[in-house]
Structure 1
């Protein structure tokens, strides 16, 4: 087995500071050059009420932004996804990629005073494998978890998992206290709503529909952090209200492009507001048009290709997204640079070609000019999806496709798409995450069509060659071979078109310039905020 990897504290801080310096304005870099200050309250904004406050059994968007304030992971990551120590101080991977051994940090305590040990790690990872929506795939090849002593954990795999070392961040793989979870159903445990962790902040209260309060952990293992005395999370579902609160200086930190894109240019001119585009390397979101391949008409690839000749991703980028983000030719975001293929086949906007394909598929215009009537359900997650759906309706009308746009709340949308299968096509967003085996495979692997499981293979796409490539890439430890496998997957997908990649999501954190140290790695604002402090 190779020697343990033990990054030095100096190297970790140097890399983080360098990367952060590239991301911030000169004034912010100067502020970070000064010593962080203790004290003060920071206000953190999210757009909707999270269903739970931990991500042990949940991947809800807003839960991800709060979980790591209390519960930590084994590792954290630089902007380039290089792993760094957190609850684990050293780690090694066997030459065959089947054993991952972690040395844990000494002297760490849970917020209730109990000691943190290897049994907590073993319980958490075993539970995540069983109940976490993505953990089932992440830890698919995990066969045993060994805890030879209180500060050592070894994960034993049946096959290599080359992405695994990047999957251990707090928002994705949180470590929770076994003594508070054991013997319960993890997804239903009340501790999820009043979390107990090892992190820099201690949960204080959750007033539904209003706010969540966290207070400084005075016994945090990484003293003198955290620097903030209190973190108040405000829940503001209305976009106009979020913009007003930011402009008024009532909010210090607001992730995930919290205001309408139409307001961004004006906000860039506000002297007290900063824009941070780093800190989303762990998510890498895209938007896409997804077809329901159980519908007879979408089983004909000519019809799907006709849609691709009509739906102009440049219009969505330039008009709907106000120029933010980037158009994409396939299923992977250009932000995921190790896996992105930019020269994939595309379908130029060509109304005549679309009309010809539809005619050939037997969808000729009726006396009223209509070829087909369809329902379009967009994901209710921001104004861009509604506006994008309206544009798609107008675009398809040019070739005789009569579209009814349907709106609904998030729970109804999720049930309609993934449980009831009562949709024709949808405009939605998905995260590629930190590795395509975790974030992309779930959408195209035939074995991952599971009615009732959200954010899985919603199209019911199946191609034996794609399945073979996906399964091979999931265990391939040679990076060059693995890239070739994913390149082949992308090339097949743009031929088969179970969906149409549209744009990479322009994720931006807006912040009040009085706060610094909030974005220090790939998790960004979904990280712990242990380094955040008030400048003035």
Structure 2
């Protein structure tokens, strides 16, 4: 693709206006969806052995007056403003009044992650816990009681004190609401109650030993419990309360940001002061952000994002296609990615991609592990990464990311695969054919597998926007080996996934980053079809021994590595024998950051290759750790 020269006086407003004229629909383009993602516009992508080519960049049109506010900084100078493409649909935001992250339809990725500060952050890249609203915490000897010490001297934006009463109220309300809200089921399953010891001390009484409960509360990637102001939320219906009233200063926050505009764009203005300024134990994060205004602009096709980056009209955009990223970087020396200016043009996210199945037997033969293993053997992952990502991706034999703390568990899984004589990385169509024949299927005259009744084996892959390049290539490989497959992004993809109404599903895995527990939890039968759950079992796979092992891991401290390794070996043997979910590749965040106005972006070590996860944190502005990046940005010299 040849990107045209800079657009001239119309600039980015012209791009956005042309998008509105064309009626392009983009919903959270490159960000991964949460457990209940906002689906993209209906898209039916036929199976093809080649990646989807980029579309031509349209000519710019004059900007419309309706969009003038997007780049009207008012009393904030342009050099003090951070502009990012993020979210939205059809050139606008449809969730602009949803700032309560627990409300039905709300999504912390769309801005609440900046407003609701956590008890603590965890950077998987730096392997660092950063205490925030909590000063410290401790467990009793058997991990059945957790004491949280709240930091003093913090106020909500209306002047009311933040204290442990907010923590106790949040946790007890989550337990009361259970499946009605996100994290309710998780808190209810682990916690008996939370009690206020004094204004700045809370005690959490757990139902069983749970050495990871505080880690559940901690912000990392998309996991973390939002602490809400008791004086503001008490007496309100969490499921319907939107928490937006600009005149009243809602949403309230302990952080340095206030929502000042939330219509066809989202604007956050910096408050004059912040409690963390100069707080020693916050380290480099303990300073008022240098950024004075953040503007989220509804997403546009990535070719137009690329042009805006080249023109220095935007400070950051998520992308998908490595070849387009390379061309974009070549045309502006101020542009970088997490891996600098070279492959893989990003970092390994915590969200490895797979083909999942509804293994209940309701749709197709996917309750048969031999059929699931046959699907795995039919995938040529080396070809897939070339077709979809120009080779800029790493293989992954499991459904948790290959982060350094997890490496011992990957080593054990490799040993298990050697013992059972199968590897999830093997491309072995002959062995796949043997498994299909053993399961009672034969190929018809069209070369497609069918059962004794003449029914073909169908695999309609329900997908989402991040897989627009990968999905069709996977479907074509399955067709080549006799599976009647296709790939689509239907408008009801989210509800179909939540309801289990699918044969096959292409999705990521928001699970483990330090030890296997949170990934194991994804496959527990107790979380099948939990509406309020975030980490739930979409696969409808049930295995009693797996459930028991997961419960045992939950009670075991991650520091007890001998016990953890033994339990994981047993669990990995079950999972790799049954294979309820077929791993494909690591998933990457390929985010282009512009250093023309802002320095201090997270940078990895390109010499580490495709599995590099260094840097102080990941820079995804839809993740819960995004605030850490904002605190580190500096005006460019």
Q: Which residue of 110, 114, 117 maps to 2:160?
A: 114
Q: Which residue of 185, 191, 201 maps to 1:152?
A: 201
* CA distance, structure 2, for counterparts of residue 275 and residue 288 of structure 1: 25
Post-superposition Cα deviations, 1:223-261, rounded to whole Å, max 9, x if no partner, equal 25122221111221422222222222122233xx43433
* CA distance, structure 2, for counterparts of residue 485 and residue 70 of structure 1: 39
Match of 1:378 in 2: 462
Q: Determine if contact 2:168/2:195 at 8 Å carries over to the other structure.
A: yes
1:440 pairs with 2:519 = yes
Of residues 339-348 and 226-235 in structure 1, the stretch that sits farther from structure 2 once superposed is 339-348
Match of 1:357 in 2: 435
Q: Describe the shift of the 1:86–1:433 C-alpha distance in structure 2 as closer, same or farther (beyond 3 A).
A: same
* CA distance, structure 1, for counterparts of residue 137 and residue 191 of structure 2: 17
1:127 pairs with 2:173 = yes
Which blocks of at least 5 consecutive residues in structure 2 are unaligned? 1-77, 278-286, 341-345, 418-422, 450-455, 603-614
Q: Determine if contact 2:465/2:489 at 8 Å carries over to the other structure.
A: no
Q: Which residue of 112, 115, 118 maps to 1:67?
A: 112
Shift of 1:509: 3.4
1:530 pairs with 2:631 = yes
Match of 1:494 in 2: 576
* CA distance, structure 1, for counterparts of residue 498 and residue 311 of structure 2: 40
Of residues 439-448 and 498-507 in structure 1, the stretch that sits farther from structure 2 once superposed is 439-448
Shift of 1:65: 5.7
Q: Which residue of 84, 93, 97 maps to 1:44?
A: 84
Q: Describe the shift of the 1:308–1:192 C-alpha distance in structure 2 as closer, same or farther (beyond 3 A).
A: farther
Give the 3-state SS of the residue equivalent to 2:115 in structure 1: coil
Q: Which residue of 388, 411, 422 maps to 1:320?
A: 388
Equivalences for 1:276-315 in 2 at 5 Å? 276=338, 284-293=350-359, 294=361, 295-315=363-383
Give the 3-state SS of the residue equivalent to 2:555 in structure 1: coil
Match of 1:197 in 2: 253
Give the 3-state SS of the residue equivalent to 1:327 in structure 2: coil
Match of 2:262 in 1: 206
Match of 1:341 in 2: 410
* CA distance, structure 2, for counterparts of residue 59 and residue 504 of structure 1: 28
* CA distance, structure 2, for counterparts of residue 98 and residue 390 of structure 1: 48
Equivalences for 1:22-101 in 2 at 5 Å? 40-48=80-88, 49=93, 51=95, 52-56=98-102, 63-64=108-109, 66-78=111-123, 79-101=125-147
Q: Which residue of 587, 591, 599 maps to 1:516?
A: 599
Post-superposition Cα deviations, 1:78-131, rounded to whole Å, max 9, x if no partner, equal 434432221112222222222222222222111122221211111223334435
Match of 1:183 in 2: 235
Post-superposition Cα deviations, 1:327-377, rounded to whole Å, max 9, x if no partner, equal 111222102633641415215222222222212211112233322241423
Q: Determine if contact 1:76/1:168 at 8 Å carries over to the other structure.
A: no
Match of 2:553 in 1: 473
Give the 3-state SS of the residue equivalent to 1:202 in structure 2: strand
Q: Determine if contact 1:283/1:432 at 8 Å carries over to the other structure.
A: no
Give the 3-state SS of the residue equivalent to 2:121 in structure 1: strand
Q: Determine if contact 2:319/2:325 at 8 Å carries over to the other structure.
A: no
Q: Describe the shift of the 1:229–1:374 C-alpha distance in structure 2 as closer, same or farther (beyond 3 A).
A: same
Equivalences for 1:211-226 in 2 at 5 Å? 211-223=265-277, 224-226=287-289
Q: Describe the shift of the 1:259–1:244 C-alpha distance in structure 2 as closer, same or farther (beyond 3 A).
A: farther
Q: Determine if contact 2:190/2:210 at 8 Å carries over to the other structure.
A: yes
Of residues 363-372 and 285-294 in structure 1, the stretch that sits farther from structure 2 once superposed is 363-372
> TM-score, normalising length from structure 2?
0.70
Q: Determine if contact 2:268/2:295 at 8 Å carries over to the other structure.
A: yes
Q: Determine if contact 1:204/1:215 at 8 Å carries over to the other structure.
A: yes
Q: Describe the shift of the 1:80–1:137 C-alpha distance in structure 2 as closer, same or farther (beyond 3 A).
A: farther
Match of 1:366 in 2: 444
* CA distance, structure 2, for counterparts of residue 56 and residue 436 of structure 1: 27
Q: Describe the shift of the 1:86–1:338 C-alpha distance in structure 2 as closer, same or farther (beyond 3 A).
A: same
Match of 2:148 in 1: 102
* CA distance, structure 1, for counterparts of residue 299 and residue 310 of structure 2: 14
* CA distance, structure 2, for counterparts of residue 281 and residue 266 of structure 1: 19
Match of 2:607 in 1: none
Match of 2:343 in 1: none
Shift of 1:433: 4.6
Q: Determine if contact 2:381/2:427 at 8 Å carries over to the other structure.
A: no
* CA distance, structure 2, for counterparts of residue 506 and residue 433 of structure 1: 16
Q: Determine if contact 2:472/2:486 at 8 Å carries over to the other structure.
A: no
Of residues 163-172 and 352-361 in structure 1, the stretch that sits farther from structure 2 once superposed is 163-172
Give the 3-state SS of the residue equivalent to 2:588 in structure 1: coil
* CA distance, structure 2, for counterparts of residue 481 and residue 267 of structure 1: 49
Shift of 1:286: 0.7
Give the 3-state SS of the residue equivalent to 1:356 in structure 2: helix
Q: CA RMSD in A?
A: 3.0
Q: Size of the alignment, in residue pairs? A: 489
Match of 1:463 in 2: 543
Match of 2:327 in 1: 266
Q: Describe the shift of the 1:68–1:530 C-alpha distance in structure 2 as closer, same or farther (beyond 3 A).
A: farther
Match of 1:450 in 2: 529
Q: Determine if contact 1:57/1:128 at 8 Å carries over to the other structure.
A: no
Q: Determine if contact 1:99/1:157 at 8 Å carries over to the other structure.
A: yes
* CA distance, structure 2, for counterparts of residue 222 and residue 148 of structure 1: 24
Shift of 1:154: 1.8
Q: Determine if contact 2:459/2:503 at 8 Å carries over to the other structure.
A: yes
